[in-house]
């Protein structure tokens, strides 16, 4: 069993305490590796290394084209390791190998590449309009890295979410300390090893494995950290924001969701039924933008539900290392208990169970949950309001489109959503009225590296991906060059002189 170490200042090192913990495969419940349990002192060492590298300008002062060359070497090396990374990611997160090898790792690498290419093209110099009051001056904005960024990553898509933080932070010239989730720390350490091999200067990327309350809180509170990029639950996001407030850190948060899928009465059901199921059951529902509330019009309700119930039966649970398996377990025993608890609440609150509703009896090992569909759920029910983060879909009947949009927007979250209709202009009009950061028309989950991703309301602050996401990793400095070269032209000095 591989024993991993922390990655600090360009070297793999043990934690100060020497304590390690196993990483468990959620499909087999067996340990697959061990990682250090870092303490605050380890987090501080990593922050100091990042600070030193940033202040030395070994990376931040490098020409962006040189930074891009090194990061593109990382991309090439990651591509050559794609299969190996897909296997590790599947084993640590419980995602199927079908998903990690066909989607998460290759697309995560492509997103990394796209963000590096996009960042390279963001100009450091932004001219401002001519200013001649109170006298002629030349003004421009210098776009600069922020400094030391903390990247806090959850367990649902560890490689991809890490790529969304590391690539923009580094191409824009920052140094970073990355804290993966305790459940899924391995691909972060693999990325660090690859980056070091490709010539990334020491201290620019550091990886510290440890708990949120210990390592995560140190990263959020330490005065040497300038920015926090956090993905995780809304509850922890609130804590992160409060901790960052003491030293006025820039904070971007990508948090929970309860995304609506609105099926229109003119939808192509061969796309809409599978789309609604893909929106909820992909990766056992462990996407923050998952479409867990499906709004179906009364006029096609029975037909839609009959097709939906039939199609759920085609989702195959089982060995995550088998390419035929299409749905894996949830990430941990704690998450299993949480999801089963919500299913119980759904039953108690009177929702009608269409299928699923528990652990699959045919699988004796692993934290699996059957794909579960509830119907006749009021939008006020707990299972329609709270993020479950498991394979649970609630179907809600609606009378007219205004009614559907009102219910879709009646949520504290605002991350994603979808509209299914053959009438694309109508679907776009509905999409514009949904108060979320992304809406797909006739699809779901297709996150685009060139488009901003993030939430309205309690789903987050700021954006990841695209130019909007890259700019979150920069500071803007206004430089004013006064063109009045004679003392007599600077009449405003006479506000303090009278001679």
Q: Which of 26, 94, 108, 154 binds ligand TXE (CB under 6 A)?
A: 154
Assess whether 288 carries a catalytic annotation: yes
Give whichever of 17 and 270 is closer to ligand TXE, judged by the CB atom.
Answer: 17
- Shortest distance (Å) from residue 242 CB to ligand TXE: 10
Nearer to ligand TXE by Cβ, of 218 and 375: the residue is 218
> By CB under 6 A, is residue 239 in contact with ligand TXE?
yes
Separation CA 364–CA 28 (nearest Å)? 9
Name the E strands within 1-103: 2-3, 6-8, 11-13, 20-25, 30-36
State the nearest-atom distance from the C-beta of 73 to ligand TXE, in Å. 28
Q: What backbone torsions phi and psi does residue 6 show, to the nearest 5 degrees? A: -75, 160
Give me the sign of the Cα torsion angle 26, 387, 284, 337.
positive
**Candidate residues 281, 389, 413, 420; the one interacting with ligand TXE per rule CB under 6 A:** 389
CB of residue 393 to ligand TXE, shortest distance in Å: 15
Q: Can you state the angle between helices 105-120 and 82-93, rounded to 10 degrees?
A: 120
Among 256, 285, 297, 452, binds ligand TXE (CB under 6 A): 256
CA distance 16 to 55: 25
User: What is the spatial distance between Cα 151 and Cα 216, in angstroms, rounded to a whole number?
Assistant: 9
Tokens of 252: 């971007």
Cβ distance to ligand TXE smaller for residue 192 or 273 = 192
The DSSP call for residue 335 is: H
Looking only at the bridges linking them, the beta strands covering 460-461 and 352-355 are unpaired
Per CB under 6 A, the list member of 91, 97, 105, 153 interacting with ligand TXE is 153
Residue 436 binds to ligand TXE (criterion: CB under 6 A): no
| CA nearest to 434, candidates 472, 470, 404, 463 | 404
CA distance 228 to 254: 11
Q: Which residue among the candidates 92, 104, 254, 464 is catalytic per the annotation? A: 254
- CA 100 to CA 466: how far, in whole Å? 23
254 a catalytic residue:
yes
- Give me the sheet containing 418-420, strands edge to edge: 352-355, 372-375, 392-398, 293-297, 260-263, 418-420, 440-441
Question: Residue from 387, 394, 408, 462 that binds ligand TXE (CB under 6 A)?
Answer: 387
Nearer of residues 240 and 317 to ligand TXE, judged by Cβ: 240
Question: Binding of ligand TXE at residue 435 (CB under 6 A)?
Answer: no
- Minimum Å distance from CB 211 to ligand TXE? 6
Give the Cα separation of 456 and 73 in Å (integer): 36
Q: How many residues bind ligand TXE (CB under 6 A)?
A: 28
Does the protein bind ligand TXE through residue 185 (CB under 6 A)? no
Q: Which of 149, 288, 294, 387 is catalytic?
A: 288
Edge-to-edge strand list for the sheet holding 474-482: 125-127, 137-145, 474-482
Give which of 423, 439, 420 is closest to 431, Cα–Cα: 439
| Interface mask toward ligand TXE for 282-311; x: CB under 6 A | ------x-----------------------
Instruction: Select 68 or 251, whichever has its Cβ closest to ligand TXE.
Output: 251
Q: Which spans of this chain sit near ligand TXE (rule: CB under 6 A)?
A: 152-156, 179, 181-182, 211-213, 216-217, 220, 231-233, 236, 239-240, 254-256, 288, 335, 338, 387, 389
Active site residues: 254, 288
């Amino acid at each position: 069993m591989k024993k991993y170490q922390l990655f600090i200042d360009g070297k793999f090192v043990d934690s100060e305490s020497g304590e390690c913990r196993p990483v468990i495969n959620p499909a087999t419940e067996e340990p697959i590796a061990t990682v250090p349990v870092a303490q605050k002192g380890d987090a501080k060492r990593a922050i100091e290394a990042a600070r030193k590298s940033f202040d030395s300008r070994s990376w931040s002062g490098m020409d962006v084209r040189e930074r891009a060359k090194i990061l593109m070497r990382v991309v090439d090396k990651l591509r050559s390791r794609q299969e190996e990374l897909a296997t590790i990611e599947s084993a640590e997160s419980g995602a199927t190998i079908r998903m990690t090898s066909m989607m998460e790792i290759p697309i995560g690498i492509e997103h990394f590449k796209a963000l590096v290419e996009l960042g390279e093209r963001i100009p450091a110099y932004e001219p401002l309009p001519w200013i001649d009051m109170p006298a002629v001056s030349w003004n421009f904005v210098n776009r600069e890295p922020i400094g030391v960024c903390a990247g806090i990553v959850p367990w649902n898509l560890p490689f991809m979410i890490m790529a969304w933080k590391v690539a923009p932070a580094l191409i824009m010239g920052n140094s970073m300390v990355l804290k993966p989730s305790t459940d899924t720390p391995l691909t972060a350490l693999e990325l660090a090893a690859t980056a070091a091999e490709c010539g990334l200067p020491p201290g620019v990327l550091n990886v510290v494995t440890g708990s949120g309350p210990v390592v995560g809180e140190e990263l959020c509170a330490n005065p040497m950290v300038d920015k926090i990029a956090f993905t995780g639950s809304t509850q922890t996001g609130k804590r992160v924001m409060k901790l960052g407030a003491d030293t006025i850190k820039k904070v971007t948060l990508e948090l929970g969701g309860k995304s609506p899928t609105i099926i229109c009465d003119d939808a192509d059901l061969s796309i809409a039924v599978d789309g609604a199921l893909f929106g909820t059951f992909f990766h056992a529902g462990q996407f923050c933008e998952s479409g867990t509330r499906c709004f179906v019009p009364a006029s096609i309700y029975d037909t839609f539900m009959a097709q939906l119930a039939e199609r759920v039966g085609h989702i195959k649970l089982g060995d995550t290392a088998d390419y035929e398996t299409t749905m894996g377990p949830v990430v941990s025993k704690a998450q299993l208990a949480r999801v089963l608890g919500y299913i119980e609440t759904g039953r108690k609150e009177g929702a009608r169970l269409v299928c699923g509703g528990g652990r699959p009896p045919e699988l004796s090992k692993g934290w699996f949950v059957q794909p579960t569909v509830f119907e006749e759920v009021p939008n006020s029910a707990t299972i329609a309001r709270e993020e479950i983060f498991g394979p649970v879909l609630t179907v809600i009947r609606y009378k007219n489109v205004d009614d559907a949009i009102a219910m879709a927007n009646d949520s504290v979250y605002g991350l994603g959503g979808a509209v299914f209709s053959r009438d694309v202009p109508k679907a776009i009009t509905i999409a514009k009225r949904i108060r979320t950061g992304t809406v797909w028309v006739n699809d779901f989950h297709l996150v685009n590296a060139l488009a901003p991703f993030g939430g309205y309301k309690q789903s987050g602050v700021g954006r990841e991906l695209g130019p909007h996401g890259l700019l979150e990793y920069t500071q803007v400095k206004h430089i004013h060059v006064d063109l009045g070269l004679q003392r007599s032209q600077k009449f405003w000095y006479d506000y303090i002189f009278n001679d």
